[in-house]
């Protein structure tokens, strides 16, 4: 992609992110208004809301390659491996300096 295309794409993604954040904030505010209207902290409504929130934020299974993983420990390991691989530094991009000889500077040259 050209620099202009890359910048344009980034701006589009940034705008989309801002819209998504505003929408999430709107839904969160609506849910809090409903919670305040329906009851206090120790009510059936509160506990149902908390359980629903926990279910929504839980990853019960993932697909790694062609394999579906459902065990909690393996799901955690799969997610961890994905991000480790994503941010792991590739050693192939660094040039090898084993066979390169450098001149040694004298004290006068380095000043």
Cα–Cα dist 22/108, whole Å: 63
Compute the C-alpha angle 43/36/40, nearest 5°: 30
Q: What is the 3-class SS of the chain, one letter each residue? A: CCHHHHHHHHHHHHHHHHHHHHHHHHHHHHHHHHHHHHCCCCCHHHHHHHHHHHHHCCCCCEEECCEEECCHHHHHHHHHHHHHHHHCCCHHHCCCCCCCCCCCCCHHHHC
- pLDDT tens-digit map of 87-104: 887 767 777 788 888 888
Cα–Cα dist 15/8, whole Å: 11
Return the domain boundaries, the chain: 1-56, 60-87
Give pTM, 2 decimals.
0.38
- pLDDT tens-digit map of 36-84: 676 666 677 777 777 777 777 777 888 888 888 888 889 888 888 888 8
């Amino acid at each position: 992609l050209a620099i202009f295309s890359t910048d344009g794409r980034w701006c589009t993604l940034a705008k989309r992110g801002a819209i998504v954040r505003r929408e999430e904030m709107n839904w969160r505010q609506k849910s809090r208004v409903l919670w305040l209207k329906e009851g206090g902290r120790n009510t059936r409504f509160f506990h149902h809301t908390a359980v629903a929130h926990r279910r929504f934020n839980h990853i019960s299974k993932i697909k790694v390659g062609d394999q579906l993983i459902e065990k909690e420990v393996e799901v955690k390991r799969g997610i961890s491996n994905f991000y480790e691989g994503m941010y792991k530094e590739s050693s192939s991009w660094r040039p090898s300096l084993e066979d390169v000889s450098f001149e040694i500077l004298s004290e006068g040259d380095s000043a």
